Chain A
Amino acid sequence: MKTFKKIDVFLILAVILITVFFALKANNREDEIFLVKLDGKIYTELKKPGDYPVKDKEGKILTIVHYDGENVWVTDSTCPLKICEKTGKIKRGGKIICVPNKIVIESQTQELQTW
């Protein structure tokens, strides 16, 4: 079997184009608020700057989320690999995902209140 064929150039170009298309699609908007989701449900909304501890049902602290009005980052976590801490600061449009604790921190467009 050969290492490389001419058809591979088209495949590589197609993959690059699709990647660039989806990468450019993600845009940052100012009217978004940060949400902390635990196990798929909304745990808290980050509106004011400060520290937000995320606790499980038994009251044990899983993660401490810090918000300074502009960026969000995780200061402490109980997960073994500390991937959420290494993700660093995220702006609106970014995401922090902690798989062992099932925590997702993402920004979402604010729902219009029409009443």
Chain B
Amino acid sequence: MRSQQDSNRVTNSRTTNVVIYSLLISISSVMFVVERFIPYPVPGGKWGFSNFVILYTVVNIGLRGGLLVGTLKTIIGSLFSGILFTPPFFMGFFGIISAATFEWIFSKTKFFSYTTLSIIGMISNNFVQVLVGSFLIKSRAIFSFLPLMIGLGLISAIINAYLAKKMEEIIDENNFGLKISKKD
């Protein structure tokens, strides 16, 4: 016999997915635009707080959802901040794809916590960003920024893990009458 809560749930239709993904993409692209105004010691760098949505999506929905939210977040956020198809856009774009992939691979083992996944994603994101940057300028000089980026990224990785856990709690508590589908 189905419980009261189950009968109230909307069946997981196409509309449900559209609502869930648009919610996630809008949260992360707003963070993408807003975090540019938070001071950061390295010129041209960013804290990367918008990536907590990717962490939540990859863990709770799957790789396809994470890649979708990540790519659309970068495109929409860059459109609003005016850096679409410039070198920083490509660095962020490939960085977020690698971060989502690595976070998904390690989340499958059920051994890691949010903090570990966030740190793994941060390291792969920074490394791929620097790699793409070194291809763009045809010089390896940019690799000297990598230790500083990883050191500062550690702070934002821990904050992102906390935010992703908080988001999971909020969505699970009042799940909007929706059931987030788990599919890969």
What is the minimal beta-carbon distance from B30 to any residue of chain A, in angstroms? Answer: 21
Q: In the assembled complex, which residues on chain A have CB atoms less than 8 Å from the CB atom of B139?
A: 37, 40, 97, 104
Whether B165 contacts A81 by the Cβ 8 Å rule is no
Chain A positions 92 through 113: 1 when the CB is less than 8 Å from some CB of chain B, otherwise 0: 0001011110111010000000
Whether A80 contacts B86 by the Cβ 8 Å rule is yes
Pick from B44, B82, B86, B154: contact of A15, CB under 8 Å: B154
Given A99-B136, A100-B87, residue A7 in contact with residue B119 (CB < 8 A)? no
**A12 to B31 CA separation, bound complex (whole angstroms):** 25
Give the interface size class of chain B.
Answer: 35 or more
Whether A3 contacts B113 by the Cβ 8 Å rule is yes
User: Does A87 have its Cβ within 8 Å of any Cβ on chain B?
Assistant: yes
Q: In the assembled complex, which residues on chain B have CB atoms less than 8 Å from the CB atom of A4?
A: 113-115, 161
**A1 to B104 CA separation, bound complex (whole angstroms):** 13
Whether B119 contacts A99 by the Cβ 8 Å rule is no
**A20 to B148 CA separation, bound complex (whole angstroms):** 9
User: Does B141 have its Cβ within 8 Å of any Cβ on chain A?
Assistant: yes
Given A1-B114, A23-B148, A99-B133, residue A106 in contact with residue B43 (CB < 8 A)? no
Whether A3 contacts B161 by the Cβ 8 Å rule is yes
**A24 to B139 CA separation, bound complex (whole angstroms):** 22
**A84 to B59 CA separation, bound complex (whole angstroms):** 38
What is the minimal beta-carbon distance from A105 to any residue of chain B, in angstroms? Answer: 9
User: Does B170 have its Cβ within 8 Å of any Cβ on chain A?
Assistant: no
Q: In the assembled complex, which residues on chain A have CB atoms less than 8 Å from the CB atom of B34?
A: none
Whether A15 contacts B148 by the Cβ 8 Å rule is no
Pick from A8, A23, A99, A104: contact of B116, CB under 8 Å: A8
Whether B154 contacts A16 by the Cβ 8 Å rule is yes
Q: In the assembled complex, which residues on chain A have CB atoms less than 8 Å from the CB atom of B168?
A: 1
Q: In the assembled complex, which residues on chain A have CB atoms less than 8 Å from the CB atom of B141?
A: 37, 95, 97, 104, 106
**A86 to B44 CA separation, bound complex (whole angstroms):** 8
What is the minimal beta-carbon distance from A30 to any residue of chain B, in angstroms? Answer: 19
- The residue on B at minimum CB distance from A95 is B141
Given A7-B116, A12-B119, residue A1 in contact with residue B59 (CB < 8 A)? yes
Whether B113 contacts A8 by the Cβ 8 Å rule is yes
Write 15 A-B pairs (CB below 8 A) sorted by A numbering: A3-B162, A4-B113, A4-B114, A4-B161, A5-B115, A11-B119, A23-B148, A26-B144, A80-B86, A81-B86, A99-B133, A99-B142, A102-B137, A103-B137, A104-B139
User: Closest 3 CB pairs between A and B?
Assistant: A40-B138, A83-B44, A22-B147
What residues of chain A have their CB less than 8 Å away from a CB belonging to chain B? 1-5, 7-8, 11-12, 15-16, 18-20, 22-23, 26, 37, 39-40, 80-81, 83, 86-88, 95, 97-100, 102-104, 106
Q: A5-B112, A22-B146, A99-B91 are in contact. List 6 more A-B contacts (CB 8 A).
A: A3-B115, A3-B162, A4-B115, A22-B147, A40-B139, A99-B137
